Chain A
Amino acid sequence: MDLLTQPVGLAHYLAVGTILFVCGVVCMAVKRNAVGILMGIELVLNGANINFVAFGAPFLRSDKQFAIGLDGQLIAIFVIVLAAAEAAVALAIALAYYNNHATIDVDRADELKG
């Protein structure tokens, strides 16, 4: 099955979401910069959001009897709010971390290791 030849459907959205998610994870895994990791987190969250919205969109689904109404969108909005709050907290942590260590390199934050 070739996605590129198909009309835009659920699978396309899921593919974009997956790409975003993987980008986010890779970003988190490779960045030493705390802000970069935060960005990765945002990407992961938004990848998940796309999935929610896609599954929630009625016109993308052929099996009408299993439509779930607006629940997908609602959860997406909830995740956005959550992401905003999370960003605020995380940035505050980054600031505090910077005040103590004069850097935001997360590899240096290993004082609690076992």
Chain B
Amino acid sequence: MNLPALLPTLLGLAWLLPLASFVLIVLWGKRMGHGGRCAGYLATLAIGTSAVLSFVALAAWLSQHPCVLSAHEVAEHAEHSSPPIAPVCGDWYTLGEFGSLRLTIGYYIDALSVAMFCMVTLVATCIHVYSFGYMHEELEEMTDPLAKLADGQPCRRPGRFYRFYQFLSLFCFSMLGLVIAGNLAMVFAFWELVGICSYLLIGFYIERKSASNAANKAFIVNRVGDFGMIIGLMAIWTGMGTFNFGDVPGAGPGVFSQVRPAANNYAPIVPDGMVALAAREEVAKIVAATPDKKLIAAQVPIWRAQGYGYWLLVVAGLGIFCGCVGKSAQFPLHVWLPDAMEGPTPVSALIHAATMVAAGVYLVGRFYPVFTPEVLMVIAYTGCITLFIAATIAITATDIKRVLAYSTVSQLGYMMLALGVGGWMAGLFHLFTHAFFKALLFLCSGSVIHATGTNEMPQMGGLWKKMPWTAGTMLVGCLAIAGAGVPTLAIGLSGYYSKDNIIAQLLSFGNQNPRHVWLFWVATIGASMTSFYMFRLWYMTFAGSPRNEHVYHHAHESPRAMVGPLVLLATLAICAGWTLLWPPFALQAFLEQARPAGMADGIGWASSLVMHPAEHLAHSTPAIHDTATFYAFTAALCGFLLATVIYGVRKINAEDIRRQFAPLHSFLVHKWWFDELYAMLFIRPVLWISQMAADFDRNVIDWLAEGAARLVAFVAQVDDFIDRIFVDGLVNLTARVTYAIGLRLRAVQTGNVRQYVMLLAIGLVALFVLTTFYWNFAFARM
């Protein structure tokens, strides 16, 4: 099978099908069936076909590169010596060429891309199907009780079913484009495009003030991260002269092989371009002395040894990570994600849990070879802070979707943390398992919201009797995210494997670098909190007796279109981490195929302070792996037991605890006062400056403009006066004189014929007389 020809075709098609669906719905969506129902079928068909194509691509890939099931053999292999499996990369279309610089639409396909394609299309298909049930109100004209008009009446508007699917299709296209992208420029374009889709879908209920605010917040906060990303892109573009990830035939070495050349045994090295850029003063000196290019090339290794250009590599890595911080809602830009829950729940599941927010983690994973040890430490600490803050906030939140949102932020923090301490596979593996169980959890919460009409958990309770399927699948989701499993048999739900990998890597890292061992402890406490707030959520929603009889009475199990995807996702949440014997497949082993070769260590000043242990050590050393499993399991169990005691059997009154720790509770309920802090630090100054600008505009600029206008009016009045008095006066005088003369002369016209004849005769005689008298006088001299 010819993979380099087959994969771009299959995945390219899978990528473009949602775009086709989007275009069709844009053009004819409104007329597709009753209320646009067929637009939904079209979008679902497109993404379903994409899913099929992605799985065909997966099968094709596996037939060529079968999974090696004893995972650490592969890891050991890859981290040390032999070259990794070459990715399929190339260009479809060249957008522009500027000398040796080229901008293209290209692809970079490795095991990670293929796995992401399968995950994104599968989850998206589930959510497309689910939305038929969840969004059915949008088929008719509907009343939105949460959107109040100015007179206090709820807003009544036509349904927007087709538009929902239109945005979903656009999102799928953008997300898949981001995954298949072969260069950073393309990544950035699709990065912004998913941001736009997120903005459009958060603001789907645009009539609600809170929704439009949340959409703006998400967009603006993401701009902050993207600003850093642009700086990173500039450093790469000037320093390396290319945006390509891989070595596209005929386009020179890509970013990865410039930073980690095979000649250097895949160890990181500052690329020549960056060295020359940083040492441009020395270069200028040499050029001024002798125009010999070879001399510069000979100097480059010396400059590199002196440390020239290293900061550019750090800037590139930090810049790219900055973008990931915004997109993946990491501290300090995590504030937008909980507010994004204003969007419809399927959107929260697809974009703000499973795929788009994971794009930041994906990009960190994809861009891993370029990160230096310093950048990795920044990533690890950002992830660690994020996971702790978000987990604490999730404990006190009462809005069911907000609990899940903070849990998403916290889990994304886990992934970043894992990537930052060298757990490349652990972080990305958690991305996949998290995508399945978090999509499941969100869809379950959507099912609950659909049934009860409220987001508030204190209004729920006892719903498992009414909605057994939802309750069951949600329990699976909770167990998966908490990492439930049987440690002695090493069997469990998907989260069990991925979280264990992370904790084990952290422990391994802590052993190597004792001063960073608290990263491990924070992650373990985080695991305990994860388990606590997830079961708190489940107990408050489904267990015990109903808190609100009215809500309970109205609740009902969701339609089959919603339950079906729940069951499928629950299945995946259970077994995404399992190793299949036939066909031989394990997600971990599959991801290992895409692991970037070599380690980040051995460069920069931080390499003397931190040391990233090889990931296979975490699996193969029983002292690490078993200890980590023990800690993770105990932590999760503690959280679960605490939740059971407080919310399950209600032995301890939660209200008492709240009163006991009132300051802490209020601190957490206000989300660590982040929104207020940002309001004080950024929003108010900006508003103040804009107020000043507005005042300046109104008082100075407007004054000038009005002064000019008044001057013109004055000049015009003077002109008017001159025109009226002098010019008009002259004309009128002529007319008046003529009129007066005419008035006098009219008396001559008597109408009497005889008088006329008389005058005629007299005149004739007078003429004769005059002529006779003056003839000689006038013409005498002739």
Q: Could you tell me which A residues sit within 8 Å of B by CB distance?
A: 25, 28-32, 37, 106-107, 109-114
Contact = CB atoms under 8 A, between A and B. Distances in A.
A28 B754 contact: yes
A29 B757 contact: yes
A37 B753 contact: yes
B754 A113 contact: no
A114 B747 contact: yes
B665 to A, nearest CB: 109
A113 B749 contact: yes
Contact of A28 (B747, B751, B752, B757): B757
Interface string B736-756: 000000000111111111100
B754 A107 contact: yes
A25 B753 contact: no
Contacts of A110: 750-752
Determine chain B's interface SS by DSSP, over half rule. Answer: helix
A25 B761 contact: yes
B531 to A, nearest CB: 118
Contact of B754 (A30, A112, A114): A30
B758 interface: yes
Lowest 10 A-B CB distances belong to which pairs?
Answer: A110-B751, A114-B746, A113-B751, A114-B749, A28-B757, A106-B753, A29-B757, A25-B761, A29-B758, A113-B750
Given A30-B754, A109-B753, A113-B752, 7 more contacts: A25-B761, A29-B758, A37-B753, A110-B750, A110-B752, A114-B745, A114-B748
Nearest to A108: B751
A106 B761 contact: no
A111 B752 CA distance: 10
A61 B15 CA distance: 124
A90 to B, nearest CB: 12
A89 B754 CA distance: 19
29 contacts: A25-B757, A25-B760, A25-B761, A28-B753, A28-B754, A28-B757, A29-B754, A29-B758, A29-B761, A106-B752, A106-B754, A107-B752, A107-B753, A107-B754, A109-B751, A110-B751, A110-B752, A111-B751, A112-B749, A112-B751, A113-B749, A113-B750, A113-B751, A114-B745, A114-B746, A114-B747, A114-B748, A114-B749, A114-B750
Contacts of B753: 28, 37, 106-107, 109
Interface of B: 745-754, 757-758, 760-761
B599 to A, nearest CB: 120
B757 to A, nearest CB: 4
A109 B760 CA distance: 19
A28 B758 CA distance: 8
Contacts of B751: 109-113
A32 B754 contact: yes
B724 to A, nearest CB: 33
Contacts of A25: 757, 760-761
A90 B745 CA distance: 28
Contacts of B748: 114
Nearest to B761: A25
A30 B747 CA distance: 22
Nearest to B749: A114
A97 B344 CA distance: 99
Contacts of A31: 754
A102 to B, nearest CB: 18
Contacts of B752: 106-107, 110, 113
Contacts of A28: 753-754, 757
A114 B745 CA distance: 8
Contacts of B757: 25, 28-29, 37
A25 B757 CA distance: 7
B39 to A, nearest CB: 86
A59 B288 CA distance: 125
Contacts of A113: 749-752
A30 B753 CA distance: 10
Contacts of B749: 112-114
Nearest to A22: B761
Contacts of A109: 751, 753
B320 to A, nearest CB: 101
Q: Which of B748, B749, B751, B760 has the most CB of A within 10 A?
A: B751
A113 B746 CA distance: 8
A18 to B, nearest CB: 12
A110 B748 CA distance: 12
